[in-house]
Amino acid sequence: MMKDSTYYKHMLSADYIVGLIDGEGSFSVFLHGPHKVGKYSTKNYRAECHFYIKLREDELPLLKEVRVFFGCGQIYHQKDKRPNHRHCYRYEISNYDKLGKVIIPFFQKHQPHSTGRKKDFILFCQIFKIITTRQNKSLSGQEVKQIRELKEQMHK
């Protein structure tokens, strides 16, 4: 019997998703400085916001259910070369429209329970706001400084 997406949406509850994020999720920000790639170079800083869940390779069906639950995101295979580690899959959302309209409202309504994830989410939202409300595409020196200071408080 083929199961449609509404079946999976009802299988995973908001509480289950929050618990999964508390254990295996991440709200991450990457700050990229000016660099040169081949004949092209950039002179401005760029920031990226990512939400992801990383699970063992055999948990791929669960990540597919999470993707159906949120209605967006991508799943990537991630090889791990470290001893005693398995390959895994990573469910990720880095699209700013989806982060702003799906992920942030969901976690504002259903906050993570763990202190660390809750703190990371609050900082993630502050950085997201800086990035998405700036006047032009380039980050100012003050914005880079703010993002760097907030980012340094994450994942501790």
Which residue type does 150 have? Answer: L
Look up the CATH number of the domain holding residue 94: 3.10.28.10
Instruction: Give how many domains the chain has, as a whole number.
Output: 1
Residue 46 inside a domain? The answer is yes
Residue 24 inside a domain? The answer is yes
Interval 5-19 mean pLDDT: 74
DSSP state of 140: P
Place of tokens 């003050």: 142
Q: What is the pLDDT of residue 44?
A: 80
> How does pLDDT run across 46-58, given as a tens digit for each residue?
889 999 999 998 8
- Average pLDDT for the chain: 88
Q: Residue 93 and residue 74: Cα distance in Å, rounded?
A: 7
What residues make up the domain containing 80? 5-151
pTM of the model: 0.85
Residue 145 inside a domain? The answer is yes
Residue 156 inside a domain? The answer is no
Residue 78 inside a domain? The answer is yes
